[in-house]
Structure 1
Amino acid sequence: MMKQIINSSKAPAPIGPYSQAVKAGSTLYISGQIPIDQASGNLVSGSIEEETKQVMKNLSYILEEAGLTFNDVLKCSIFVSDMGTFTQVNSVYGEYFGDNPPARETVEVSGLPKGVNVEISCIALYS
């Protein structure tokens, strides 16, 4: 099975030795996205809702580059710095999925890259 690297110019460039996404067979693995606005290069700060919206935008740009949408997502992993923000993150996250949302877990971690409050990765499937 060959792997193909997927990168979107609309999403922030990786901040380490990893790819935005890798396609292997009919599966797309998207690396964790944090709330960086690619246009400005700045972190989106403010409310956890604003941060989560930017993360979801970044994921959508990568999905789009790969020819997929949120409807193709099988699983997401959500990492938050404070489980007290779960309700707000969950509310924004839910706006991107219809009646058949993907599997997922949400975990609180002691720290995230660049001190952000939320990071989300996902796995999608080509039909």
Structure 2
Amino acid sequence: MTQAPRVELTPAAAELLRRLRAAHGPLMFHQSGGCCDGSAPMCYQDGEFRTGASDILLENLRVDGIEEAVPFWMSRSQYEVWSHTRLIVDVVEGRGSGFSLEAPEGVRFLIRSRVLGT
């Protein structure tokens, strides 16, 4: 029996990642759990955000049309809050953080979730 992924993408999020990858090269996500947009998943060029001992690699997301996986990192303290859920990365209209690569597109990534086992 295979385990369900801890993080998955909606089709809209996957399409946006393909466009961002074409424009910026290899990508990564980090979700820190800070205030405001800090609790949203931020998309960076891979390696632009430095992860450390307080971060957990939850998933290497595979996206059709992108050769390399897109790592999804989360701060350990945030993971303690979300550990019982499957995270679903989606995209909605509206402007999020100026640090995340999708900001100029007029959209932002956000997390939807499902309790594990449902």
Please report the TM-score for the alignment, with normalisation by the length of structure 2. Answer: 0.30
TM-score for the superposition, normalised by structure 1: 0.29
Give the strand-richer structure, 1 or 2.
Answer: 2
